[in-house]
Structure 1
Amino acid sequence: MSDDDLFARLRSYEGCPAASGTGRYPVNTAMIGHWCEVMGHSDPGPAHGGPAAIAPPAMLQAWIMPGPAGADAPGAGRSAAYGELLALLDAAGCTAVVATDCEQEYLRPLRPGDVITFDSVIEQISPRKTTSLGTGHFVTTRTEIRANGEPAATHRFRILKYHPQPTADASRRPRPVVNRDNAGFWEGVAGSRLLLQRCTACGRLRFPWGPGCPDCGSDRWGTEEASGAGTVHSYVVVHHPPHPAFAPPYAVGLVELAEGVRMISNITGAGPADLRIGMPVELEFARAYGPGDAQQLPFFRARRQDAP
């Protein structure tokens, strides 16, 4: 299908319903108070209750947003037309999505007890655009929001459905900075050994390498080889910003070694959606800069019996 034919099909969905329904919960002081606390308002005032309490205007979308079940949650009401539109974009290779912006117009305050209903339409679909993420189409929906049947707000929400950038170029991966404080660590890596520092004054094991002990300040230390066993202490899945050496989405993990120190590394052997806090991992060394380059890096792989 040519770009012109695809765009014509996409535009045929403009004006079609996108969603409709009723907010899962009426406007209530508990959610208002929680929102204010999360946003750093130490004294939300009337938001804690009373006839004068109102919901902060920027909280508008919270009353109609579906829960973890997404489009299938009670009250979400996504239309068949919107599902068809997304499927058409997926089939065209625009499999990734990112929210780009929203616009809100407030017509009246929302007060505790208000029952929120909404109707959303597919307002506009852009021609194919090229962005730093990849090429794709911007999809704008317009939602009319009512409180107890009265017009309360208009909400426009825009996403980009795009074709992800091509495969990463490993040769462009940033190289480690080697200096006199960490040269011993990188010598160990070259020999497929993960070396940690041990303070000889107080016994503190530390990573990353440094010239002095963060506990006692001593500059006397020795090395100890890590066993390579560890668990995922935390992780993030990176979608943006793009980097030519990495193909998003990819996971960056904070691994807690069996010795008790933590280090940041890529997690391999499991997809980003399969990672879990506490997942056992094991150390491996691999060349990371393409064919013909002897430089290797330490990685952590999900243990085979735990990997999907």
Structure 2
Amino acid sequence: MVEQEWMAEVRALVGKEYGRVYAWDPVNAPMARQWCEVMGVTHVAGQVPPAMLQVWCMEGLEQNNYPPGSTTENPYEALQLIEAHGYPSVVAVNSELEFSRYLHEGEKLYYTTRLDSVGEEKTTGLGTGFFVTLVMTYFSQKDGGDEQVGRLLFRVFKFRPASAPAPKVKRPMPGVSDDTRFFWEGARQGKLLIQRCKACSSLRHPPGPVCPECHSFEWDTREASGRATLYSYVVMHYPVVAPFDHPNPIGLVELEEGTRLVAQLVGVDPGALQIGQQLQVEFEEFDGGLTLPQFRPVPA
């Protein structure tokens, strides 16, 4: 594959060495103890954990707040160039930390950065982009000449995210309890079941454990005819919520048997809805596991 012309500017940076970044503080016991506490490892008095090498030269809470004398060069300029050409995302791939020796309390450190490599354009599950490898070399300042004490290889993937099809949004499943299970099971069978008190024959919806009229806990069900009138309604325009179509008319319907329930209205012109118009129930299955009663206007 022929590489794009702008990549020549990026590849010209490979091998470039960036200036020193100094540590704010010398290697010290309090920071080592606190780091061990955060990482959940045992701190041995008088010893500095070698895995802390990168920590000593970090800027702190404020980004790019480095001590006086540190370089103002941007070691990530290759990433900025790649991003400017349509590769906005970045993910860390791997990090390799090498130690030349243990550090000692009181040592003053700094590191330099080298752009080690920029790979060929690759396509992964995340998207298409470039693997970029940086190498930070750490030194201890010495009167007789600075000593290399370790090295950090840091690799990232700078990429254009893959375009994935939007996931299909399913209708939310209703909460099903011992009081409401009969309703949803009936809907799956094409039946509109209404809870009925065995003591006083009152119908109630939504279902509940006790009759609001006589307070009996005994109940059974009655299959409604499905004929109803429109008692009230609203039409949802905003916000648009998937997977519902908008405008989305929702009706409070009064069943022929006398009780009311809330359901979606289908086959309607929202602007032509009228209170009192005749409706008929129909059942529609969604996502292979949810059957809902909906109401359609009956032609005059």
What range describes the TM-score normalised by the shorter chain of this pair? 0.5 to 0.7
Whether contact under 8 Å (2:36, 2:43) holds in the other structure is: yes
Instruction: Give the structure 2 partner of residue 151 of structure 1.
Output: 148
Per-residue CA distance 1:21-60 (angstroms, 9 max, x = gap):
211221111111111111112x4221xxxxxx23212211
Match of 1:22 in 2: 22
Rounded to whole Å, the distance in 2 between the matches of 1:33 and 1:183 is 58
The structure-2 alpha-carbon separation of the partners of 1:105 and 1:178, relative to structure 1 and needing over 3 Å to count, comes to: same
What is the alpha-carbon distance in structure 2 between the residues aligned to residue 88 and residue 182 of structure 1?
61
Q: Stretches of 4+ moved more than 6 A in 1? A: 292-295
Larger helix share, 1 or 2 = 1
Q: Give the distance between the partners of 1:95 and 1:19, measured in 2 at CA.
A: 26
Q: 1:179 to 1:157 in 2, by over 3 A?
A: same
Query: Per-residue deviation at 1:286?
Result: 4.2
Shift in alpha-carbon separation, 1:45–1:72, aligned structure 2, 3 A: closer
Amino acid of the structure 2 residue aligned with 1:40: G
Match of 2:100 among 99, 102, 107: 107
2:21 and 2:66 in contact (8 A); partners too: no
Tell me if structure 2 keeps the 8 A contact 1:71–1:77. no
Which residue does 2:13 correspond to in 1? 13
SS in structure 2 opposite 1:71? coil
Shift in Å, 1:220: 7.8
Please give the alpha-carbon distance, in whole angstroms, between the structure 2 residues aligned to 1:167 and 1:157. 28
1:57 aligned onto 2:50: yes
What residue in structure 2 maps to residue 35 of structure 1?
35
Give structure 2 stretches of 5+ with no counterpart: 185-207, 211-237, 249-263, 265-285, 287-300
Q: Give the deviation of 1:72 after TM superposition.
A: 4.8
- Larger-gyration structure (1/2): 2
Q: CA deviation at 1:160?
A: 1.4
How do 1:102-141 residues align onto structure 2 when only pairs under 5 Å count? 102-141=95-134
The answer as to 2:179 corresponding to 1:180 is no
Native 8 Å contact 1:21 1:118 kept in 2: yes
SS in 2 for 1:163: strand
Q: Give secondary structure in 1 for the equivalent of 2:30.
A: helix
Deviation at 1:61, TM superposition (A): 0.9
- Per the TM alignment, residue 100 of structure 1 is displaced from its structure 2 partner at its CA by 1.4
Tell me the TM-score normalized by structure 2.
0.54
> Amino acid of the residue matched to residue 118 of structure 1?
Y
CA distance in 1, matches of 2:100, 2:48: 13
Question: Identity rate of aligned residues, in percent?
Answer: 28
1:133-282 residue pairs with structure 2 within 5 A?
133-148=126-141, 149-166=146-163, 169-171=166-168, 173=169, 176-178=172-174, 180-181=176-177
Q: Does 1:79 align with 2:73?
A: yes
Instruction: Supply the distance in 1 between the matched residues of 2:19 and 2:178 (Cα, whole angstroms).
Output: 56
Contact 1:17 1:79 in 2 (8 A): no
Quick one: structure 1 residues 291 and 60, their matched pair in 2 at CA, closer, same or farther if it must change by over 3 Å? Answer: farther
| Deviation at residue 3 of structure 1 after TM alignment | 3.5
Letter in 2 for 1:77: T
Structure-2 change in CA distance of 1:132 and 1:175 (3 Å): farther
Question: Distance between the aligned counterparts of 1:69 and 1:181, measured in 2?
Answer: 52
- 2:243 aligns with 289
CA contact (8 A) 1:7 1:127 kept: no
- Kept in 1, the 8 Å contact 2:26–2:108? The answer is yes
In structure 1, how many angstroms separate the alpha carbons of the residues matched to 2:162 and 2:71? 32
1:78 CA drift (Å): 5.2
| Partners of 1:23 and 1:45 in 2: CA distance | 23
| C-alpha distance in 1 between matches for 2:178 and 2:159 | 41
1:74–1:183 Cα change, 3 Å: farther
Is the CA contact (8 Å cut-off) linking 2:24 and 2:67 kept in structure 1? yes
Q: Provide, for residues 201-236 of structure 1, a one-character-per-residue CA deviation record: whole Å limited to 9, x for no partner.
A: xxxxxxxxxxxxxxxxxx989xxxxxxxxxxxxxxx
Instruction: Kindly provide the amino acid, as one letter, of the partner of residue 158 in structure 2.
Output: K
C-alpha change, 1:290 and 1:179, in structure 2 (3 Å) is closer
